Structure 1
C-alpha cells in the first residue's frame, strides 16, 4: 500500500499530473458561485494569473530552458569512469534497476535505461573482472520474475558467467537498493562499490549508498541526458525535453525526500 501511495503522490506533484492539478483548481475556481462583485474581480485575476503560470510552466518543462535548470545540475558532477586507473581492492559493480515492462507481446522486457545501465556495467566488468550485482524487485500486485533476475539474464545473454553475478531481488526503491546491497557486500568482505545508474539519478543514489556504506564508493554514470549542442528547435516545446525534465523533477523531489532518511 505504501508503494502505491508514494507513487500516486509523486504523480500529482510532477508533470503531467501537476498540470492536471493546476487545471482542476482553475476550473473549480471558475465555477465558484455566490460571491460578491469584488470577489468576482479577484477570482478573474487569480484565474488569469493561474493560466499565465500554467502556460509558463508547460513551456519551461517542455524546452531546453527546463533542461538547463533541472537536468544539467544533476549530471554536471559525474564524468564517465575510467576503471583501469583504480587501485587493487575487493570491489563489486552494483547496477541499479531502471524499470521493466510487463505484459508486452514478449512478456517481460527491460526498459531502455535499464539496458543502458547494464551496458555500462558490462563494459566495467570486461575491463576489471569485478563481480557484478544487479538489484531490483517485483512491485506489489505484479507477477513474474524480479527485475534483478531479468537483468541477470540479459547479462548472461551478453556473455557474462552467471557465477559472477549476484542478484538482489527485493528492493523497490533506490533507498532499499542501497540498504540491501550494502548489507550483502559488507558481509562478504567487499570494501569498494562501483555504482552504476543514470547520470541524472546518481546524486540520489550516492546519497542513499553513503548513508549505508562506510567504505569506498565510486560513481559510474550511464545514459547522460544533457546535451550542450543545441539548435533553435530546442527552444520550442518538444517531447524529448518534457521527458527529460520530468525525470529531473522526479530526482529533485527524491533528493528532498531522502534528506529525511537515516
Structure 2
C-alpha cells in the first residue's frame, strides 16, 4: 500500500515540474494528430498549456501558494519567545553546494543559521541555557550538521551547546531522528527554524513524531504579479507547488497511520 502511494505522489510531483508539463502537452498533441483526432481539441490543449504557463509565470498562482504556505509564520519574532527556560532550537539543513571541491552550505542555509543564532543569542545574553540541534546529513561529503556547526561556533556559539543530527536525508528523517534526540533531552520548549515555504510540512512531520515546535521562519519567498510571465515567478511557484504536494502526502499518511 505504502509503495503504491509513494509512487502516486512521485507522479504527482512530476506535475510540479515545468518541463514535464510542456512535454506532456506536446505528447498529447502529437498523439492526437497521429490518430487524426479533431483539430479543435489539439488547439484547445495547446491554448490550455499556454494559459497555464501564463498563470504560473505572471505570479498569480505563486501569490496564492505563498500565502497558503507562509502567512501563519510571518509574524514570529524571536524576542517574544523568551518564556521557556531550557529550550532547544532545531535548525534544518538547507543543502550543500560543492564548488571546486569546496563544500559550503546552500544559500537557503544562511538565513536559517542567522535566525537560529539570533534566538540562541537572546537566551545566552540573559544567561539562560539553550541548545542548538542541527539536523541534516545532505548529499555532500561533509554533513550539513557539520558545516552548520562550524558556522555557529564562528558566530560565537559554544561548542557544548551544539548537537549534531547527521543522518537525515529529507524532512521526514529530520523529524524522525531529531525527535529521538529531543525526547532524550526533554527540553522545556522546542523552536523549529526553517524557511517559511517549508515550515508547514516540517511542523506537521515533527508533530507526527510527538514534537510540537514553535515555528521560527527564517526566510520567505513570493512572486510578483507581472504583465508578462517570467522565469523568476515560474521557478518559485513550482518550488511551492512541490511543497504543497508534500503536505498532502504527510496529511494522507498521518490519516492512514503510515507515518511514524
Q: Same fold (TM over 0.5)?
A: yes
1:69 offset after TM fit, Å?
1.8
TM normalised by structure 1 equals: 0.83
Aligned to 1:137: 137
The correspondence for 2:95, drawn from 96, 99, 111, is: 99
Cα pair 2:176 2:209 within 8 Å, conserved: yes
Could you say what the CA RMSD is over the residues aligned between the two structures, in angstroms?
2.5
Q: Does 1:155 align with 2:138?
A: no
1:182/1:213 contact within 8 Å kept: yes
Q: Which runs of 5+ in 1 are unaligned?
A: 34-39
1:3-23 superposed Cα distances (whole Å, 9 cap, x missing partner): xx8997576221223324323
Residue 64 (1) aligns with residue 56 (2)? no
SS at match of 2:194: strand
Could you give the per-residue CA deviations for residues 39-84 of structure 1, whole angstroms, max 9, x where no partner exists?
Answer: x342x23321211121111112212212222112211111343333
Kept in 2, the 8 Å contact 1:75–1:226? The answer is no
Q: What does residue range 206-221 of structure 1 map to in structure 2 within 5 Å?
A: 206-214=203-211, 216-221=212-217
Q: CA deviation at 1:157?
A: 2.6
Does 1:224 find its partner at 2:226? no
Query: Residue 238 of structure 2 aligns with which residue?
Result: 246
Q: How far apart in 2 are the matches of 1:135 and 1:80?
A: 24
Tell me how far 1:205 sits from its aligned partner.
Answer: 0.7
**Pairing 1:234–2:231 present:** no
Consecutive unaligned residues of structure 2, counting only runs of 5 or more, are 125-129
Q: Which of 182, 186, 195 is residue 183 of structure 2 equivalent to? A: 186
Instruction: Say if 2:65 is the partner of 1:73.
Output: no
User: Partners in 1 of 2:19 and 2:42 — Cα distance?
Assistant: 19
- Give the alignment's TM-score, normalised by structure 2: 0.84
> What whole-Å deviation, never above 9, does each CA across 1:81-121 have from its counterpart, x for those lacking one?
3333331332111111111113x125212111111111111
After TM superposition, the runs of 4+ consecutive aligned structure 1 residues lying more than 4 A away are 5-11
Q: Which stretch shifts more, 235-244 or 22-31?
A: 22-31
Counterpart CA distance in 2 for 1:177 and 1:200 is 16
User: Given that residues 116 and 222 in structure 1 are in contact (C-alpha distance below 8 angstroms), is that contact kept between their aligned partners in structure 2?
Assistant: yes
